[in-house]
Amino acid sequence: MSSGELFGWTQNAGMGWEPARLLGKQFLVLSTQGGIRAPDGAPIALGYHTGHWEVGLLMEEAARTFTASGAIPFAGYVSDPCDGRTNGTVGMLDSLAYRNDAAIVFRRLIRSLPTRRGVLGVATCDKGLPAMMMALAGSLDLPTVLVPGGVTLLAEEAEDTAKVQTLAARFARGEVTLDHAAEMGCRACGSPGGGCQFMGTAATSQVVAEALGLALPHGALSPSGAEIWRDLARRSAHALMALERRGVTTRDLLTDDSLHNAMVLHAAVGGSTNLVLHVPAIAHAAGLRRPTVDDWARINALVPRLVDVLPNGPRHYATVQVFLAGGVPEVMLHLRELGLLRLGARTVSGRTVGENLEWWERNERRRRLRDKLQQLDRIDPDDVILSAGRARERGLTSTVTFLRGNLAPEGALVKSTAIAPQAVGPDGVYLHEGPARVFGSEHAAIEAIKTGAVQPGDVMVLIGIGPGIGMPETYQITSALKHVKDGHRIALVTDGRFSGVSTGACIGHVSPEAWAGGPIGRVRDGDRVRLRIDTRRLEGTVDVVGVDAGGLAARSPNPALRPDARVSADTRLWAALQDASGGSWGGCVYDAERIIGLLGRALAAERGSFGA
């Protein structure tokens, strides 16, 4: 017995654990819990967001389940930021970089408890949940189970948590009163816990976790605080212990087939474009081949969107209503009919995807929850999760279109399913040509929207906010364009990224980015920019008209492209490391072997020059 293991017993007893029960199997519960919450739910210290406010209750349910089974639960925490809270602020420069840091710390916490027999991860929101999946994926020799932290309820007589983020822009333009803004801001959250009510990055990540086989069937999108949500934690603890008894590890679950299923579900639910960053990162952590732009384009061309949910529409149901309609397994039933799933992929339930679906078809839970949706909300569940034929009749289009052109020679993307229907022609093609309005900062761009300096027909070109400065998301701009008058007639092109709830003709991930010398950094005010997006064939272009690639390359960078002094050394280091590892299309990961190799060659060259 190591001295550390023996001292661990001493520490366990010191914390009050019954010494006679020290021989139980040890399981680690990790979460993104934030804030300090009194037993009655009152805030002692606020968390950063509702998504991690209640997940401690899930940890408690799981821990009590382990204890009742004779096991010993341990708990650790790595809280996460709120992208909604940091939008438009300097805090957003740390958002994406946080994901890698958190995944590293989670993995270090796992390794720092060498006696653990398995890991249960509890997480909810935009960066904490992808970080948790990366950490579990990197623990291939352990059994792991993920517990999605659920969603907040849809508030009554209120704007949803996406629309309220545009109150400032609408108020500045005189489109809402101060009283309306105050009322809506206070009403938006229908419950104190859970991720947002729309299929943004948080909700999409929950769907992807279940599709990967890391979470139990019908685990994604459960209503935070409800008994069915607590029950998920208890069942997940039992599932983890069962995996450990059978010797099943994460290596057995995360495969190319499970990755395929995750990408298929992403397309079917109309998921956030941010998963184009997170899914490759999870694959990299698991030692799998990272999906490329071509893989995403191929999947999106094959898979119809089957879910009507905020922000995509057309009827804009909430995420908890998707859960009641049957959630991920209900969507999978339709995808199975289309032959789009790898049914042999194994999952944490101990069954394959195909076996899970056979269970779901005849399960009383399915009937009971679908009936509840009709009784409570007067909504037909088949209007929320649709068959392929019904989705086609309702005009649901596929999720993401990948673009090329002289502004994006290495690629760009747009959430084409969320372009305003009135802006798309009867042939499914969105066409827009207008003068460029170039901005070198998000602050300058949102100021132009608030003051009306950007006019319908313009193309906003936002440069210098790609991975080089942390790739902050630009939701305050995209949301403003959705909700201000005539905003749907203004397009946006940027080397940055968007919130998962963003909508409209907003083209992001333009590559190469401006800081890498990309042509987007050489656009000038008044250049004619032409966008063509075929929402059916999922192809399109983004070009400066009248200037070829050579002409753009010959220009000097736009004077608006200036370094941002607020970018921290931490984020600059993240930017350099992810750039050496494949950049944003590679998932913004750290490829340790490549980085070590590059550093080794650079150091050898430096030492050689000193010797000379």
Nearest C-alpha neighbor of 468 from the set 512, 498, 405, 437: 512
Check 499, 502, 581, 584 and give the catalytic one: 499
Residue 499 annotated among the catalytic residues of the structure: yes
d(CA 559, CA 566): 19
d(CA 403, CA 293): 10
Does residue 311 have a cis bond before it (omega within 30 degrees)? Answer: yes
- Helix (H) / strand (E) element for 480: namely helix 475-483
Phi, psi of 260 (to 5 degrees): -60, -45
Residue with tokens 């922000």: 311
What number of residues does the chain have? Answer: 612
Q: 70: left (phi > 0), else alpha (psi -120 to 50), else beta?
A: left
Cβ-proximal residues to 597 (8 Å cutoff; 6+ apart), any chain:
none
Contact (CB, 8 A) for 195 and 124? yes
Kindly give the pairing relationship between strand 459-462 and strand 429-439. parallel
Cβ-proximal residues to 524 (8 Å cutoff; 6+ apart), any chain:
436, 438, 555, 558
d(CA 87, CA 5): 45
Tally helices (H) and strands (E) across the chain: 24, 14
- Tokens for 214? 């890391």
Interhelix angle for 128-137 vs 201-211, to 10°? 20
Residue 467, classed as helix, strand or coil, is: helix
- Tokens for 297? 């384009």
The DSSP string of 26-38 is EEEEEE---SEE-
CA distances from 203 to 119, 147, 291, 347 (A): 22, 13, 21, 20
Contact (CB, 8 A) for 499 and 471? no
Contact (CB, 8 A) for 356 and 362? no
Please give the DSSP secondary-structure letter assigned to residue 412: E
Dihedral sign from CA coordinates of 58, 236, 121, 399: negative
d(CA 579, CA 588): 7
Q: Which of the residues are catalytic? A: 499
